[in-house]
Amino acid sequence: MGIVTAFQAAYHLLSPGHPHWGEMACLPWDEEVFGFPVADLRMQEPGALPANEIPDLRRALEAYARESRAELISMRIPASHTDMLACFMQAGFYPVDLALEAASTGLREQLMLKPRFGLRLARPEDHADILRLAGSAFEFGRYHTDPRFPRELANRRYARWVENALGSTSADDRVFVMRSQDKCVGFYHAVLSDGVADLRLAAASPSAPVGLSLYCEALLALQQLGGRRYVTKVSAANMGVMNIYASIGFRFSKPEYALHWHSPCGRHLR
């Protein structure tokens, strides 16, 4: 899951002589938001690296950062690959989040709250309220839990994410809004395709205790639109959302660490 965008990331081997070090790409959607390049490292075959390669890997990361001007490199490692985690921490990465996949095949309606707030698809007159909420409501996710990353930029990323979703021309994108006493108290963004609902992003106003209602009403709305399977990623630190999904029958799997590496030459992230 990620920001809705027309941009594509172009991956290339970090080191042609060491294909097992993985592939790198700068993420144009994040650069557009932050104003400086950030990159992603992905591994084809997760596994530990020989100890004698760690210094060379660190030098390759530094060379990539200098050439691309990337100030941050991210990667994900399955939680069971602790040997791989140790290797990349030695190369200068550090864990900033642990995320799990939450999934449900069919809703157990006896566990769902009955609709109370009349959740509906967002209309243009809702957009400003939704964007204000998106820019202030989040505390979790790898940018928010990286202590070296500015909170204002992390908030801006979520606001841009929702702005792109609201402006999407794809019939698969759905942004729902929940209002109470003419105030926006929550929104829920999902992508529904071939019966699978990819649950992208949701937020409830801290001043309105509507979290469980927001999730239940959005999922029931997706079911009415043809949803049969529901899947999302959840930060393990976000206990409120974890408890909501657990209470309505979702199961959790595929834990993975998100790691960040900060460039020693960076100007914005120190």
Confidence of residue 203 (pLDDT cuts 50, 70, 90): very high
> 103-256: which CATH architecture?
3-Layer(aba) Sandwich (3.40)
pLDDT in tens, 127-182: 999 999 999 999 999 999 999 999 999 999 999 999 999 999 999 999 999 998 88
Contact 73, 65 (CB under 8 A): yes
Confidence of residue 3 (pLDDT cuts 50, 70, 90): very low
Confidence of residue 116 (pLDDT cuts 50, 70, 90): confident
Q: What is the pTM of this model?
A: 0.90
Contact 168, 176 (CB under 8 A): no
Among candidates 238, 179, 234, 241, which has minimal Cα distance to 208?
179
Contact 36, 50 (CB under 8 A): no
pLDDT in tens, 12-24: 999 999 999 999 9
Give the CATH number of domain 12-98+257-262: 3.40.630
